[in-house]
Structure formats: structure tokens, C-alpha cells
Structure 1
Amino acid sequence: ESRAGELLKHGTHALVIGDEAIRARLTNKYRVELDLGAEWRELTGCPMVFGISASPREKELGEESRKVLESLAWGEKHVEVVVREAEKKFGMPAEFLREYFNSLTYRLGARERRGLELFEEKCYEFGLL
């Protein structure tokens, strides 16, 4: 059973992220779906930043960081290979995966930074920080 299904046995709402959120959307069996990234973009005009891989500027990139950057570059050049592998691994439709991967932003640019600033401002405004 899905994590969403398990959570909904005990309540009326479930917050799921990552692969579980994608599976929940694909099943189309839940009454209300709220995509936090889409809602944030609608509210602010900025993309939602869900995670950042960071290293200090003053330090030289380590082997792990280089591997992450190489992997990112490879994935951007070989989207169809990534889509096929994900389709096999997760059993999700290739067209959906292609659209999903192409909708993600893999760099932290000015719009993403502005989105982070707005998120921080809203957190302070609502007393969350």
C-alpha cells in the first residue's frame, strides 16, 4: 500500500513527497491534490526550491561534489536514457517522466534565489521562524 493510503487510514489528509507524491498523482484516486511547487509558483511567480546541494565557496570541490556535477551534466545530455531507466525502475509512464524531469530546475539562479527569499519572508511573517 502507498504511504498516502496508509496515512489516510488514520486521518483525512496526507503530505507525501518525492516518488510517493508522483505515484499518488498518477493513481488519480485522491479527491484533493495540492502540488506545493505549482501553488507557490501561482502565489509568487517564483519557483519553489525543494533542496540545495551546497559546498563552501572557499573550499575546493571534493570528489563527491565533482561526481554530483558530472552526474548532472550526464543526465541533462541523456534525458531519454534517464527516462527509460526510471520507467523500468518505477513503472511510471515515459511521457509523464519526461515531462517531470524537464520541468525540474537543476541550477540555483536569480528566480530560485528570489523564491527562497520570499519563502523566508513568509515564514517570518507567519511566525514560523
Structure 2
Amino acid sequence: MIKLGRISYVNMAPVFHSLEYEVEEVAGVPTELNRMLLDGDLDVAPISSIEYARNAETLRLLPRLCVSSEGAVDSIQLVTRVALGRVRSVAVTPESATSVVLTRILLPGAEIRPFEEDADAKLLIGDAALRSAFEDPTPHYDLGRLWLEKTGLPMVFAVWAAPEPVVDGLSDLEHALVASVRLARSEPEKLAYAASERYGYPAGFLARYFEKLRYSFGPRERAGFYTFLEMARDVGELHHVPELRFARDAELPR
């Protein structure tokens, strides 16, 4: 049975909404899934975009899936009372890799600090960012929106990757994951209410959130991904920009 990583945030609800493929699900925050996949404890998982790039020589991508947004994403937030242009330090969540690098790109003059230290701003991701945006009146800056303003492209936060040699049945699993997303898109109310029961957020709030997420790894997402990797290299977070290597012949999403 394929060991499939699942990000433990609500953003995975559409992907697993109606997954008709028998897998062993292993949940964790992005940095945990990154480690488990690279250690060989998972057969496939959505991992931080930057971690794929740092380990591309041993991994293969699923060509039809990612986690991205074109504009505001809601679940990646910089929280600060300081004007954005005056932020000189950011305390970052230990749960993310891509968002930390994105912060370096968007705020190149800011010092990155551990989450428990005082700083001008805090970086939150996932459900903590959603809760904060919902409950905390402190100004929030959405990193997906800031990226779109800077580049005009989608931001790819995670990609689905598998270590070589890839496990048997991976193509069929990818097809099932894509089918689950499509069904979720076709019944947004059912998705929102089911996710509300599981994660505890109001269904209307989740329906708006899911509209902002993208899961198809299309041409614009790939362009945004390459742009992110190039900028990560330019700020010293990546030695070189790797080619995208796919688990089968690269085909554009259908």
C-alpha cells in the first residue's frame, strides 16, 4: 500500500475530499513531511517547493498537482503592527520552508529569527494563519498577494514528489487525487460543510478560502515556480535552479 503524506492543514480538504484509492495516510506539517519523504518513510507527499528544489536529484514530481494561489491565499500571513517597508526582523514558524524563503525574497532586508524570539513581524502558515486572520485585528499581509504584486505570477507553495525509484501505482494515485479535486470543485457546499465539521471553521469562511487555492500544476504555475526558484537562488537559499523531473513523461494537466 502506498504511504501518502497529507499536510495536516485544511488546505488538503479538496485533495482528499473523495479519494478513491487505498493508501496509508501519514499526516504532518510541511517540514515534517519534507523530512519523512527525504528519509524514505513516505512514498509520495506534498512537500515544500524549496525542498524539492534542494533535493531534485533524488525526487520525481507528479506533473498534474501542486498547491498554489494566484493572489491572496489567506493561510500564509505576515502579522505586524509595523509598516511593511519598515519591518527589519521576522520570527518565522518552524512548520514551513517555502514561506520562509518567500519572506526572504519579499523582505530582503529583514533578519529571520526563530519563532519564539521577539521581532517586528511573525510569519504564520496553515491553520494558525487562518485563525489569526479570522481573530486577530493586527494588520496581516498575505504573502500570496505580495508575490503576485511583485511577479504577476502564481505562487507554488508545495509540489507532490516521490523518491526514486518511484512506487508502483503512482500514476493511478495521481489520477485519483486529481479526480478528488475535480469532484470537490463541482460540489463546493458539500466540501465546505465537510471541512467545517473536521476542522472547525465556519463553512462560508472555508468556501471562500478554497476558492483561492489551486491544485493544477499548469503552465502559469510552472512559470511561477521557476521564478520563485530563481529568486531563491538570488537570495542565497538555493545553489542552482534544477530542471523539473517528473514521475512519468511530463504532460500538461488535462
Fold match (TM-score > 0.5): yes
Q: Give the equivalent residue in structure 2 for 1:121.
A: 230
Unaligned stretches of 5+ residues in structure 1: none
The question of 1:14 aligning with 2:126 is answered no
Structure 1 residue runs of 4 or more that deviate by more than 4 Å after TM superposition: 7-10, 58-61
Number of residues of Structure 1 aligned to a counterpart in Structure 2: 122
- The farther-off stretch of 63-72 and 95-104 is 63-72
Cα distance between partner residues in 2 of 1:34 and 1:107: 25
**TM-score normalised per structure 1:** 0.77
Q: 1:64 to 1:33 in 2, by over 3 A?
A: same
Cα distance between partner residues in 2 of 1:33 and 1:115: 23
Q: Give the equivalent residue in structure 1 for 2:147.
A: 40
The question of 1:101 aligning with 2:210 is answered yes
RMSD: 2.8
Say which structure is richer in helix.
1
**TM-score normalised per structure 2:** 0.42
Unaligned stretches of 5+ residues in structure 2: 1-78, 80-92, 94-114, 239-254
Matched to 2:123, the amino acid is L
Say which structure is richer in strand.
2
Cα distance between partner residues in 1 of 2:140 and 2:232: 23
Cα distance between partner residues in 2 of 1:120 and 1:33: 25
Q: Give the equivalent residue in structure 1 for 2:132.
A: 24
- How far apart are residue 81 of structure 1 and its match? 0.8
The share of aligned pairs that are identical, in percent, is: 32
The question of 1:75 aligning with 2:184 is answered yes
